[in-house]
Amino acid sequence: MKEKEPDKLNIRKEAEQPLIFHSSREERLSRPGAPKPLPRGGFFHRNRALTITLVDVLILLIIGLGFRYFLSGTEYQARIEGYSVVLRGFHYEEVVFATLTVKKSTQNPETSAERIFVRFYLPDTGEEVYLSGGLPREPGEETVLREAVPAGGKADTLEAKVTIGGKTKRLRRKLER
Cβ atoms within 10 A of the Cβ of 95, count?
17
Q: Which helix (H) or strand (E) holds 138?
A: none
pTM exceeds cut of 0.95: no
For position 55, what pLDDT does the model report?
93
Weakest-pLDDT range from 11-25, 40-54, 62-76 = 11-25
Amino acid in the structure at residue 28: R
Homologous superfamily of the 77-174 domain (CATH): Immunoglobulins (2.60.40.10)
For 102-111, what is the mean pLDDT?
74
CA distances in angstroms from 50 to 2, 30, 38, listed in the order given: 77, 30, 16
Cα Rg of the chain, angstroms = 40
